[in-house]
């Protein structure tokens, strides 16, 4: 094993921050609009859900769960978008699979950064 320290940029973790922000917005909208919670309580619970998701992402099992779910969501959205444009399932499935692999690689990079944070 080499003694070199591989340095990661903060921008490598942006995918998880963006996805957690989207989850927080969806949770807040569902609680406030759908479940008739008070807006302040809905926002607090959305922040709690985002923090719990970020903590869960830092664990070994949670990484695979979060990565699998979000990669599947991005791949499905891509496939649905391509299908709505072309109405061809072949390109829809292919694009969904490619986006799933790209999303998984971005999550893996974010996990590597998350595990190797060095303060200088």
Q: In whole angstroms, what is the distance from residue 12 CA to residue 114 CA?
A: 9
Q: In whole angstroms, what is the distance from residue 23 CA to residue 68 CA?
A: 15
Q: What is the mean pLDDT of residues 4-27?
A: 72
Crossing angle for the helix pair 60-86 and 89-115, to the nearest 10 degrees: 150
**Exposure string over 76-104, b if 16+ CB within 10 A, otherwise e:** eebbeebbeeeeeeeebeebbeebbeebb
- 32 three-state secondary structure: helix
- Report the pLDDT value the prediction gives residue 44, as an integer from 0 to 100: 92
Dump pLDDT digits (tens) for 44-103: 999 998 888 888 877 778 888 888 888 888 888 888 888 888 887 887 888 888 888 888
Domain boundaries, the chain: 12-113
State pTM to two decimals. Answer: 0.64
Q: Which residues contact 23 (CB under 8 A, 6 or more apart)?
A: 49, 50, 53
């Amino acid at each position: 094993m080499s003694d070199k320290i591989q340095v990661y940029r903060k921008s490598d973790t942006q995918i998880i921050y963006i996805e957690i922000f989207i989850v927080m917005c969806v949770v807040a909208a569902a609680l406030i609009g759908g479940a008739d919670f008070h807006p302040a309580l809905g926002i607090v619970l959305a922040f709690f859900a985002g923090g719990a998701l970020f903590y869960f992402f830092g664990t070994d099992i949670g990484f695979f769960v979060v990565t699998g779910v979000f990669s599947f969501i991005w791949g499905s959205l891509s496939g649905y978008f391509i299908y709505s444009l072309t109405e061809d399932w072949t390109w829809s499935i292919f694009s969904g699979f490619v986006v799933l692999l790209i999303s998984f690689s971005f999550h893996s990079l974010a996990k590597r950064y998350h595990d190797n944070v060095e303060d200088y």
